[in-house]
Amino acid sequence: MKTNQFKKAASYCNIGLIIFTLALLGAAMAYFIEVSGLPQAESNLLFIKPCYYVVMLCSILIIAKEIRKFWAALKNKTTKADDPAEEIDDAVTVSKKTDTIKQFLDEHKEIVLIVFSFLYLGILKTLGYVFSTFFFLSAVLYLIGAFNKKLVIIVSALTVLILYVAFGVCLRVSLPKGILGF
C-alpha cells in the first residue's frame, strides 16, 4: 500500500526532469572544478564562477519545485491510493513484456533514429559519404517508415544524389571518401 502511495506521488513529479537537471549540474560542476585547477584560475574563473553559481541556484530551485510536488501528492493520501483497478497483476506483466518493448520502440522511433545516426557517423569515414548516407537512409526508411523496398531505394538514391551535387559539386565541399574512393 505504502509502495503504491509512493509510486502515485512519484508520478506527480517529473523524475526525468530531476535526473536531467542533476546531469546538467554535474557537467557544470565538473567544468568548474577543471577550470579551478588551471593556472591563472582567477582570470579563468572571472566569468565562469558566477555562471556556475547561477546554474547551481537554478538547479536547486527546479529540483525543489519537483520535490514539493512529490510531498504534496504524498500528503494527499485519499487520492487513488485504494483504487483496486490500479493494482498490478504480475502474471500479466511478464507476458506483455515483449509486446511492450515493440510498442515502446514503435512509439519512440527517435531512439532508433538516434542509434542509426551514431552508426552512420561510425561508418562515414570507412565507407565514404555516398554509401554511408545511402545505407543510413535506406535502413531508417525501411525500418521506421515501413515503405516498400522500391520506394526506399529511390528516395535514398535521389536524396544522396541531390546532396552530393549540392555540396560536393556546386559548393566543392570535400566530402569523405571511403575505401571505395567516393
Partner 1 sequence: MKTSLWTLVMEALFTLNLQAFLWMFVGTVLGVFGGFLPGVNATMVLVILLPLTYSMPLESALGMLLAAYGAAIFGGSGSAILLNTPGTGGSAATALDGFALTKKGKGNQALGIASMSSFLGGFISVVILLLLMRPLARFALRFGPPEYFAVSIFGVSIIASVTDNDTIKGIMAGVLGLLLGTVGMSLTGQLRGTMGNLFLTGGINTVPAMMGLFALTSAFNLINEKSVMNEGVQHKRNFKEELEGCLITLKHLPLVIWTAIIGTVIGILPGAGASIACWAAYKESFRFTKNPPKLGTGHYQGVIAPESANNAAQGGALITTFALGIPGSGASAVLLSALLLHGVTAGPQLLVQGIDLIIQPIVLLVISFFVCLVIGLIFEYVVSGVVNIPTKIIAPVIIALGMTGSYAFRGAIFDCFTALVFGILGYIMSKTGYSRVAMVLGLILGKMTEQELVRTSIRFGGDFSVFFTRPISCVILVVSILSILYSLVMKLRTSKN
Among 82, 83, 86, 110, binds partner 1 (CB under 8 A): 110
Assigned C-alpha cell, 83: 483504487
Question: Using CB under 8 A, which of the segments 72-80, 87-95, 97-105, 118-126 binds partner 1?
Answer: 118-126
137 binds partner 1 (CB under 8 A): yes
Question: Using CB under 8 A, which of the segments 3-11, 73-81, 91-99, 124-132 binds partner 1?
Answer: 124-132
Burial 141-159 (b: 16+ CB within 10 A, else e): bbeeeeeeeeebbeebeee
Distance CA 73, CA 66 (A): 11
Among residue numbers 63 through 102, which ones bind partner 1 (CB under 8 A)? Answer: none
Among 3, 98, 148, 174, binds partner 1 (CB under 8 A): 174
43 binds partner 1 (CB under 8 A): yes
Assigned C-alpha cell, 88: 498490478
Residue 5 or 142: which CB sits closer to partner 1?
A: 142
**Angle, CA of 109, 155 and 163, to the nearest 5°:** 100
